[in-house]
Structures are given as C-alpha cells and as structure tokens.
Amino acid sequence: MIITNSSNNYGAYQHPEKLIPLVISNALMGKPLPIYGDGQQIRDWLFVEEHVQALYLVLTKGRVGENYNIGGNCEKTNLEVVKTICQLLEELAAK
C-alpha cells in the first residue's frame, strides 16, 4: 500500500461548496463572500492537474509502504484567496 496526503486542490469540477467555487458564485450573484473566522487561516493550494501528475509519479516510482506528501508550494490566507478572486472578477467585468 502507498499512502498520499495532499494540500487543498482547486480546478475544474470542484464541489461548489468549497472555498474557491463558492467565492466565485457568491461574488457573481452579489451574495456575501464566505470568510471563515478572521480569514487569516493559511492553506496550501494545489492545481488538480498537478496533483494528478504527482499521483502518477508516486504510483510509478513510489515504494510500497511509504507515505508521500503532495503540496503545491502555494500558501495563501483565505482572505488573500478571496481578494485575488475578487480582483480577477473585477478585471473580467471591465472587459
């Protein structure tokens, strides 16, 4: 058995209740944006396609009995993520 642990994934087909899709849909509908606590919680983000590539490497080159941590090296506070999404949506709306 090989075990993998990963950071937060984002990308296509993500469940709509997760932070990134929820912020996008709420912003587009003019609803309150979900800021959990003070928004300073730090998460590491990993694009889903990069996660798949890492899993493939673990499956093809990993060793049975090992545990692999897969991260995106992209730590952001929840507030940073929300602000970035809002900035991108504003840029798109201006076009």
The confidence score (pLDDT) of residue 5 equals: 98
The confidence score (pLDDT) of residue 95 equals: 80
Does 36 have pLDDT greater than 90? no
Q: Which domains does the chain have, with CATH numbers?
A: 3-94 (3.90.25.10)
Which tokens hold the place of 33?
A: 């944006």
pLDDT digits (tens, 9 = 90+) for 47-94: 999 999 999 999 999 999 999 999 999 999 999 999 999 999 999 988
Q: How far is CA 55 from CA 32, 49, 64, 71, 90, in A?
A: 36, 10, 14, 11, 35
The confidence score (pLDDT) of residue 19 equals: 96
Counting Cα atoms < 13 Å in the Cβ hemisphere of 38 gives 1
